[in-house]
Amino acid sequence: MRAHCSFTWPASAYAADHSKGTTIERFIEVVDDYIRWYNEKRIKISLGSLSPIEYRVSLGLAA
């Protein structure tokens, strides 16, 4: 069984853009944006269909 890699999107986005002259700085920006989305904004069913930030706020753990 093959494990799912959550970094597939940024890596493939970089590979697609690299042929167009994308820099390592752009790659880092794409990966950073993805990590921020994944950790802060994505909706997670196990958190009651809330994003991680919304869930923390609902528990009073974040402002």
> Above 70 in pLDDT, residue 24?
yes
Q: Residue 21: its pLDDT value, please?
A: 75
**Chain-centre distance of CA 22, in angstroms?**
20
Look at residue 11 in the predicted model and tell me its pLDDT.
Answer: 59
Place of tokens 């904004």: 41
Query: Is pLDDT above 70 for 7?
Result: no
Residue 16 has pLDDT above 70, yes or no: no
Residue 32 reports pLDDT greater than 60: yes
Q: Find where tokens 């609902």 sit.
A: 58
Decide: pTM greater than 0.85.
Answer: no
Distance in angstroms (rounded) separating the CA atoms of residues 12 and 54: 29
Rounded distance between C-alpha atoms, residue 20 and residue 14, angstroms? 10
User: What's the CA gap between 25 and 5, in Å, rounded?
Assistant: 22
